[in-house]
Amino acid sequence: MVELIDTRGRPLRDLRISVTDRCNMRCRYCMPRELFGSDFPFLDRLDILTYEEIDRIASIFISLGVEKIRLTGGEPLLRRNLHELISMLSLHDVEIAMTTNGVLLPRYAPALSAAGLDRVTVSLDAIDEATFAAITDSGHTVAAVMAGIEAAESVGLGPIKINTVVKRNSNEAELIDLVERFSSRDIAVRFIEYMDVGSTNGWDMDDVVSAQEIREMLGDIEPIDPSRRGDVAKRYRLPNGSEVGFITSVTEPFCGDCTRARLSANGHLYTCLFASEGLDLLTPLRDGASDEELTSLIVNCWTNREDRYSEIRSEETNIDKRVEMSYIGG
Which pLDDT belongs to residue 319? Answer: 54
Is residue 300 domain-resident? yes
Q: From the first residue on, what is the mean pLDDT of each consecutive set of 10 residues in the chain (330 residues)? A: 90 97 93 91 96 98 97 97 98 97 98 98 97 96 98 96 95 94 91 82 85 93 81 88 91 89 96 89 98 98 90 58 73
Which pLDDT belongs to residue 320? Answer: 56
* Structural domain for 18, as ranges: 14-160+256-328
Which pLDDT belongs to residue 217? Answer: 92
Which pLDDT belongs to residue 318? Answer: 55
Is residue 247 domain-resident? no
d(CA 7, CA 309): 14
Is residue 78 domain-resident? yes
CATH of the domain at 79: 3.20.20.70
Is residue 274 domain-resident? yes
Instruction: Note whether 188 and 159 are within 8 A (CB).
Output: yes
User: Rounded to the nearest 5°, which phi and psi values hold at 246?
Assistant: -135, 130
Is residue 8 domain-resident? no
Which pLDDT belongs to residue 253? Answer: 84
Is residue 66 domain-resident? yes
**Burial class of 40 by CB neighbour count within 10 A (0 to 12, 13 to 18, 19+):** exposed
Which pLDDT belongs to residue 277? Answer: 86
How many domains does the structure of the chain reveal?
A: 1
CA–CA distances in Å: residue 242 to residues 43, 148, 245: 41, 21, 10
Helix (H, G, I), strand (E, B) or coil at 115: helix
Which pLDDT belongs to residue 315? Answer: 45
